[in-house]
């Protein structure tokens, strides 16, 4: 063959090497990113009961549930997500920060609700008027917690691909919003699971930051909803602010199934995690299933 042919082949190989090597590196980097994604779960509990009403809020970061608040629901969620790390915060704040404000108001609301066997709408029996000062107090403490999350991730997983999922209950909702506001420019979010959020209609977040956003609790004030006697009186449920903008396959409200016994509903039972076993009836193919989406990736940014 002519000498020019071999020179041409050498030049072609050299050009292919220069072009192909970067492409191979990018493909390899993407493969590593997709296969090394790590999940971090953050559990934020709510009010811990009258016995702890005066307990000071210290925003301590825990790696295990320090109080047993989650009744092993966290174990189920952890087993599904297989996180590299699970973090816990307590959003327990005094009753004065809630919609009730006082123990007397809780007692009277409970008493009146016991006579509401017909009405589905509550104009005054169930207290759903916002307490802006109390909400903002929990929100501001959530900001402090958010910084602790950033410090923890930066120290332990600064070179990892991280996706943060948040599970809150009751008062923990406002706290979670503060936490999200602090970390949203540094991490990517997976799922937001808000269980019986207190004052959910008062404030929301940019829910487009999350893969999915689900609110679990009673259906209130609608044609198909239960009467007031069976409603959540601790934190009367309202749709999370802005949730209606999320597409139906990526978020919404999840209610107890119609087959759920009425003996497990009521002022306290419809709110307390002790009576939330209907969670386990949500299947993987159902809306609101609490498990990971492994097809979407994210990176923790220093």
Higher pLDDT, 207 or 162: 207
Q: For the segment 70-96, what is each residue's pLDDT rounded down to a tens digit?
A: 999 999 999 999 999 999 999 999 999
pLDDT of residue 11: 52
pLDDT of residue 290: 84
pLDDT of residue 79: 95
Say how many residues make up the chain: 302
Domain extents for the chain? 34-281
pLDDT of residue 31: 35
* Architecture of the domain made up of 34-281: 3-Layer(aba) Sandwich (3.40)
| 292-to-192, 205, 260, 284 alpha-carbon distances in Å | 11, 21, 26, 10
Mean of pLDDT values over 273-299: 78
Q: Look up residue 41 and give its DSSP letter.
A: E
- Six token digits for residue 96: 């004065």
Does 189 have pLDDT greater than 50? yes
Q: Choose among 286, 90, 126, 289: nearest CA to 218.
A: 126
pLDDT interval class at 34 (50, 70, 90):
very low
pLDDT cut 70: percent of the chain above it:
84
Least confident of 44-53, 119-128, 140-149, 172-181: 119-128
Does 18 have pLDDT greater than 90? no
Q: What is the 3-state secondary structure (H, E, C) of 157-225?
A: CCCCEEEEEEEEECCHHHHHHHHHHHHCCCCEEEEEEEECCCCCCCCCCCHHHCCEEEEECCCCCCCCC
Dihedral angle computed from the Cα positions of residues 232, 233, 235 and 241, in that order, rounded to the nearest 10 degrees? 70
- Across-strand partners of 149? none
Taking the whole predicted model, whether its pTM rises above 0.95 is answered as: no
CB 78 within 8 A of CB 86: yes
Higher pLDDT, 149 or 124: 149
Helical residues (DSSP H) of 36-169, grouped into ranges:
73-81, 103-113, 132-156
């Amino acid at each position: 063959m002519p000498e020019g042919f071999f020179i041409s082949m050498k030049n072609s190989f050299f050009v292919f090497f220069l072009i192909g090597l970067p492409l191979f590196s990018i493909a390899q980097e993407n493969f590593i990113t997709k296969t090394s994604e790590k999940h971090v779960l953050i559990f934020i509990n709510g009010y811990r009961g009258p016995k702890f009403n005066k307990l000071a809020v210290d925003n301590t970061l825990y790696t295990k549930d320090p109080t047993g608040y989650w009744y092993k629901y966290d174990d189920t969620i952890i087993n599904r997500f297989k996180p590299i790390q699970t973090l816990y915060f307590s959003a327990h704040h005094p009753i004065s920060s809630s919609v009730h404000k006082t123990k007397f108001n809780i007692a009277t609301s409970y008493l009146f609700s016991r006579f509401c066997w017909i009405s589905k709408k509550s104009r005054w029996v169930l207290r759903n008027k916002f307490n802006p000062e109390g909400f903002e107090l929990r929100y501001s403490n959530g900001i402090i917690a958010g910084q602790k999350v950033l410090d923890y991730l930066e120290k332990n997983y600064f070179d990892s691909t991280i996706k943060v999922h948040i599970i809150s209950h009751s008062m923990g909702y406002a706290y979670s919003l503060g936490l999200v506001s602090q970390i949203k420019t540094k991490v990517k979010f997976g799922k937001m699971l808000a269980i019986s959020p207190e004052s959910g209609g008062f404030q929301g977040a940019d829910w487009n930051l999350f893969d999915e956003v689900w609110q679990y609790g009673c259906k209130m004030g609608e044609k198909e909803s239960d009467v007031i006697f069976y409603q959540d009186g601790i934190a009367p449920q309202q749709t999370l602010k802005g949730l209606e903008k999320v597409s139906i396959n990526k978020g919404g409200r999840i209610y107890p199934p119609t087959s759920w016994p009425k003996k497990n509903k009521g002022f306290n039972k419809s709110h307390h995690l002790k009576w939330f076993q209907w969670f386990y009836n949500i299947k993987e193919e159902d809306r609101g299933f609490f498990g990971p989406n492994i097809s979407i990736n994210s990176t923790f940014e220093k």
